[in-house]
Structure 1
Amino acid sequence: MNHPDPVFIQPLLGADDAWSGYKVELADGANDEILSRLCAASQLDEFDQRLPWFLPASSTCNVSVRLGERSVSIFAAQSAPKSEEALKQLEARLRQNKCKVGLAASANAKLPATGAWDYLLIGASHARCLPPFTLHGMASRTTVVATDVHSHSDREWLLGNACALSTSEFLLTRTASNSKADITRLKLLKLLTLIDGDADTGALETVFREEAKLSYSLLRLVNSAALAPRSPITSFAQAINLLGRRQLQRWLQLLVYSDPNNGQHPTPLLQKAASRGRILELLARKLEPALDNPEDTAFMIGTFSLLDVLLNMSVSDILHQLPLPVVIQKALAEHEGPLGQLLSVIDAADRHDLKLAATLLEKIGIDADSYLDAQLDAYSWAAKIRPAD
């Protein structure tokens, strides 16, 4: 029996940087079995029911049955001859049933007329080569989704040119950091080492007093929908008492990524780090050889895997300032060990090297169903990490 290749889910950003949709990608040669598994997953009920899911058009998997109006079937501008007729029939059937359809544009094919498709997916470099105002005209009757957005300047240009949604590759590129924000975050790293070293509460509170806005940021974060406390947490001491040190450490790891100005703006890098940590945590016990406290170790590796981007520092410089167990250091710096290899899977998927990601998953013994479940759990949880107003 052939095992299905994994499916890879990519959150899409809206103009306000909030997760505003999800794009599903399949490795080359993958069959539709795993796509059917996705559409049947009960975890889909945990996601915001208003957000669209973009899935490859499939003649054997009826995505609209499970996802309903959330589903958008994406057709390629140029398809393989052997599947062209089947896809044309599928497109006609979807349109007849008033299902949402989208086109993945190709630089080698003419753009469709505005309104011909519900959604147009277009690469950033392709979009920037178009005549002025082309996307504005397209967006009058078609929702434009930008893909392969590898720089912050591309992201800004696309937002200014009528793109409603975009992929988030640009989040993985370093930019100059505000020095004060970095100081705050370095204090957070100091706080994490104190917790890891079992320091007393007084020592922890001293760090918060040195950087007062940390308390405010922490309280907004732990009161988010992802934790959903029965009653609001109003002080650092209460946070320790209610969460315990283990959970507090996890929220502090995420706090490193929060908005340093305490604004209401979504922080997509935080959610990306959170989802990485959660995916590694959920799959940690499936890896060999087994580790002590694998979930905590895995969560830290996942959340800290983007610190170099956040702090605009090399991984080696960060690890020099943040003493961590050897297994975590090797996973972060060299992608060594089973958790480091799993981190390589996520990195490859973020680079859209899906064939490599699928190969690495098979190598470390993670099947497609397990990886899909971990993604769905992680993304539904991370999507709720929005600081309370």
Structure 2
Amino acid sequence: MPGTEPVFVYPLLGADDSWSGYRIEFATTAPDSETLFRLFSSPRLDTFDQRHPWFLPAVSGGYDAGTLTGRSVTVFPAHPKPEDTEALSQLEAALRAQGRQLGLKASPEHKLPSPGGWDCLLVDCGHARSLPPYTLIGMASRTKLVATNVHTHNDRNWILSNACILSTCEFLQTRSAPNTKADITRLKLLKLLTLIADDADTDCLDSIFREEPKLAYSLLRLVNSAALSPGSPITSFNQAINLLGRRQLQRWLQLLVFSDPNNGQHPNPLLQKAAARGHLFEFLAGQLTPPSSVENLADSAFMVGTFSLLDVLLGMSMPEIMRQLPLPEVTRTALLEHKGSLGELLAAVTAIDKHDLNTASARLAALGIDADNFFEAQLEGYGWASKIHTT
């Protein structure tokens, strides 16, 4: 029987802001080894870049990492529970003997290990910033550094300057600075979103792109992503309508608002986060219990997932945004109140972003989503979003 304890996947950003690794986390109680083996044997894992590491938490007694075995880094706590100490020590010795990649989760209460003692060191950003100058740079000579709990853009810049090659993405939930989208004003973005939400005709949408050539360029760059484009490049808005169809094009337009034309030669992690959310919601929408009676459920789910990050993008409160967007009532209720099945799913995903995994587990269980379905949905969402390129 499928396990009910979910496993949570978090992308890790490389120095160039692209997804360059993934971290697995459990709620308080780890899923059983049989469930983990089944999840980690998913064929969807083969679609991810084989060069990217997957950081898996060490569990007393160990478990088979399945498809991830060759690219996994088993992460040990600096101070395990007394009842787990001996078992984790034995597991560490066995993995070292096999030549497997090992990581240590640093703790402020314990001295950092010597460089080279572990393949990877995961260090909380607050802890890292309290260390003496150049400590991390010295450590990085023989150990790969991964920063966790990176909550601000300032933190992100600091860890990149101090030799951390990967970091978690909490800072994406905050705005970096005001007026970072001066070239595409809030008014222009909201006008485009209003037309999309109001199912405007092609001519109305086309007029926006004629007024803003950079928007048209961004759209064409987005839909011509290497892994997603049709046989020949799309070179105009009308061609995009004809080849993709209005329904698919509207999804790209929803993602377009997260694309910054002034930053076209650099990965945009907020765009990929929005894309992953949209696809995750779409994948799970038909599996929610009780079943939703919402018309065009998949489209509504995708919109809730992507638009749930508009407040971050625009630097505006969600109620203020909703006052200017004529969205369907089910979408508004989900985004504003986290009510209805899509709203409850959004509440679960919000808890995941806050690392409140016990609450997230309970909310997913209440929606009838078990470990297997949720793990596959995460892989589907992250795998799809990782193939979107804006260069």
Normalising by structure 2, report the TM-score.
0.95
What is the CA distance between 1:323 and its match in structure 2? 1.1
Residue of structure 2 in register with 1:6 after alignment = 6
1:253 aligns with 2:248: no
What is the CA distance between 1:60 and its match in structure 2? 3.5
Residue of structure 2 in register with 1:152 after alignment = 153
Residue of structure 2 in register with 1:379 after alignment = 382
Normalising by structure 1, report the TM-score.
0.95
What is the CA distance between 1:195 and its match in structure 2? 4.0
Counterparts of 1:75-154 in structure 2, within 5 Å, are: 75-154=76-155
What is the CA distance between 1:186 and its match in structure 2? 4.1
What is the CA distance between 1:179 and its match in structure 2? 6.3
What is the CA distance between 1:157 and its match in structure 2? 0.7
Deviation string for 1:106-156 (max 9, x for gaps)? 111111111000000000000011111110011000000000011111111
Distance 1:77 1:186 in 2: 50
Residue of structure 2 in register with 1:356 after alignment = 359
Name the stretch that deviates more: 124-133 or 180-189: 180-189
Residue of structure 1 in register with 2:72 after alignment = 71
What is the CA distance between 1:66 and its match in structure 2? 2.1
Counterparts of 1:189-204 in structure 2, within 5 Å, are: 189-204=190-205
Aligned length: 387
Residue of structure 1 in register with 2:32 after alignment = 32
What is the CA distance between 1:3 and its match in structure 2? 4.0
Whether the aligned pair in 2 keeps the contact of 1:192 and 1:249 (CA below 8 Å) is no
Whether the aligned pair in 1 keeps the contact of 2:39 and 2:375 (CA below 8 Å) is yes
Distance 1:230 1:188 in 2: 30
Residue of structure 1 in register with 2:319 after alignment = 316
Whether the aligned pair in 1 keeps the contact of 2:196 and 2:253 (CA below 8 Å) is no
Unpaired runs of 5+ residues, structure 1, are: none
Other structure's SS at 2:166 match: strand
Q: Match for 1:123: what amino acid?
A: D
Distance 2:15 2:364 in 1: 33
Residue of structure 2 in register with 1:21 after alignment = 21
What is the CA distance between 1:29 and its match in structure 2? 1.1
Whether the aligned pair in 2 keeps the contact of 1:27 and 1:355 (CA below 8 Å) is yes
Counterparts of 1:274-289 in structure 2, within 5 Å, are: 274-287=275-288, 288=290, 289=292
Deviation string for 1:13-51 (max 9, x for gaps)? 011110000000000012234322231111001101110
Q: Match for 2:54: what amino acid?
A: W
Q: Match for 2:246: what amino acid?
A: R
Other structure's SS at 1:261 match: helix
Whether the aligned pair in 2 keeps the contact of 1:259 and 1:265 (CA below 8 Å) is no
Residue of structure 2 in register with 1:370 after alignment = 373
Distance 2:4 2:363 in 1: 14
Whether the aligned pair in 1 keeps the contact of 2:36 and 2:64 (CA below 8 Å) is no
What is the CA distance between 1:93 and its match in structure 2? 1.2
Other structure's SS at 1:8 match: strand
Residue of structure 1 in register with 2:56 after alignment = 55
Distance 1:193 1:334 in 2: 20
Whether the aligned pair in 1 keeps the contact of 2:197 and 2:326 (CA below 8 Å) is no
What is the CA distance between 1:228 and its match in structure 2? 2.9
Deviation string for 1:71-109 (max 9, x for gaps)? 111111111122211111111111111110000111111
Name the stretch that deviates more: 175-184 or 202-211: 175-184
Distance 2:13 2:180 in 1: 26
Q: 1:129 to 1:198 in 2, by over 3 A?
A: closer
Distance 2:99 2:221 in 1: 42
Deviation string for 1:195-246 (max 9, x for gaps)? 4444332222111111111110000000113423211111111101011111
Residue of structure 1 in register with 2:214 after alignment = 213
Other structure's SS at 2:284 match: helix
Deviation string for 1:148-195 (max 9, x for gaps)? 011111111111011110001011013433265474464344234334
Distance 1:153 1:91 in 2: 35
Identity %: 62
Other structure's SS at 2:319 match: helix
Whether the aligned pair in 1 keeps the contact of 2:145 and 2:165 (CA below 8 Å) is yes
Other structure's SS at 2:258 match: coil
Q: Match for 1:329: what amino acid?
A: R
Other structure's SS at 1:144 match: strand
Whether the aligned pair in 2 keeps the contact of 1:185 and 1:256 (CA below 8 Å) is no
Residue of structure 1 in register with 2:334 after alignment = 331
Distance 2:242 2:192 in 1: 17
Distance 2:246 2:186 in 1: 19
Residue of structure 2 in register with 1:266 after alignment = 267
Q: 1:320 to 1:295 in 2, by over 3 A?
A: same
Q: Match for 2:29: what amino acid?
A: G
Other structure's SS at 2:379 match: helix
Whether the aligned pair in 2 keeps the contact of 1:181 and 1:260 (CA below 8 Å) is no
